[in-house]
Amino acid sequence: MAELHLQSHRLQNLWQKARELPLLPIGVLLIVFIIPALFAEVIAPHDPYVPNLRARLQPPVFFGGTWDYMLGTDRLGRDILSRILHGAWYVLAVSMIGIAVGVVVGTTLGLIAGYARGWFDGLVMRLVDISLALPAMLLALALAAAIGASFLSVVIVVGFALWAYFARQVRAEVLLLRNSDFVARSQVAGASHLRILFRHILPNVMNTIVVLATLQVGIAIMLDASLSFLGIGIPRPTPTWGLLVSDGRDFIATDWWISFFPGLAILLTVMAANMLGDWLREQLDPRQRQI
C-alpha cells in the first residue's frame, strides 16, 4: 500500500517536474522527428519522389550547393531534405506500432507468466526462447520472401523482434515482486488476481517497461535500417530513413551527403529518444532520486 501511495505521488511529482522538462531532447525530437512526420507535406521544399535529372548529386549548401537543395540531392536529383522529412512519418509509424506490439504482447505474457507460473510460464518462456533463437533478420528474410516486403511485414518483424525482451524482463521482475510483502498483503486482503496484477504489480514494473521501450526506439529504427540494407524493408520509393542510409551507403566516400544526413536524422532521433527515456526513468524511479 505504501508502494501504491508512492506511485501516485510519483506521477503527481512528474507533473510538477514538467517545468524541468529536458528541453534539448524534446526539441530535437520535435524538430527532427515529430513535426516532419506530421507536416512533411507542408514544409518539404520539393517533391520527395520526382527525380530531377538536371539537379543530380548537388552537394549540400555549405559544400558548394545551393539553398534550394539545402542538404543536397541524390543520384536521381531528389532533394535529400524533402526525402528525410517525408520519411519521418514512416519511421515514426514503424517504430511506434512495432514497439506497441512488442510492449502489449510482451508485457501481458510476461506479467501473466511471472505471476501464474506453472505451465503457462513454461509455455511463454519457450516461446521467448524460440523467438530469441530465431534471428529477426533471418525471419524477416523468410517473411519477405513469403508475403512480400511491405509496411506490414516490417511492423511484424519489429514487433516480433521486441516482444520477447519485454516478456523476459517483465517476468523476471514479477517473479521478484510476487513474493514481496505488499502482494502478500493484497492477497490476504482478498484482491483478485487481475487486480493484483494490474493495480499492484504492473505499476511496479512500469519503470522497466519505460526504460526498455526507450531502448527499443533505437532498436526499432535500426532494425528498419538493417531490413532496408538487406533489401526487405518498406518497399521503394517510400523514403524511410533506413532506405535512404542504405541506398547512399556505397557513396559514403564521395557523395557522402546522400547517406550522411539521413544517418544524422536517425542518430539525433534515437539519441533524443534515449535521453528522454533516461530523464523519464530518473523521474519515475524512486531509488535513483535519493541523494
Cell match 524460440: residue? 130
How far is 143 from 141, CA to CA, in rounded Å? 5
Cell match 524512486: residue? 286
Task: State yes or no: residue 30 binds another protein (CB under 8 A).
Answer: no
| Amino acid identity, position 113 | A
Segment interacting with another protein, rule: CB under 8 A, options 83-91, 164-172, 184-192, 196-204: 164-172
Among 101, 139, 202, 280, binds another protein (CB under 8 A): 139
Segment interacting with another protein, rule: CB under 8 A, options 3-11, 50-58, 100-108, 194-202: 50-58
Output 7 or 150, the one with its CB closest to another protein.
150
Among 1, 11, 43, 50, binds another protein (CB under 8 A): 50
208-247: contacts with another protein (CB under 8 A): 211, 215, 218, 222, 225-226, 229-233, 235-237, 242, 245-247
Cβ atoms of 80 and 257 closer than 8 Å = yes
Cβ atoms of 117 and 274 closer than 8 Å = no
CA-to-CA dists, residue 281 to 20, 65, 134, 228, 278, angstroms: 14, 43, 31, 32, 5
111-130: contacts with another protein (CB under 8 A): 122, 125-126, 129-130
Name the region of 148 (left: φ>0; alpha: ψ -120 to 50; beta: rest).
Answer: left
Among 75, 100, 151, 187, binds another protein (CB under 8 A): 75
How far is 278 from 281, CA to CA, in rounded Å? 5
* Residues in binding contact with another protein, number by CB under 8 A: 74
Segment interacting with another protein, rule: CB under 8 A, options 3-11, 26-34, 113-121, 253-261: 253-261
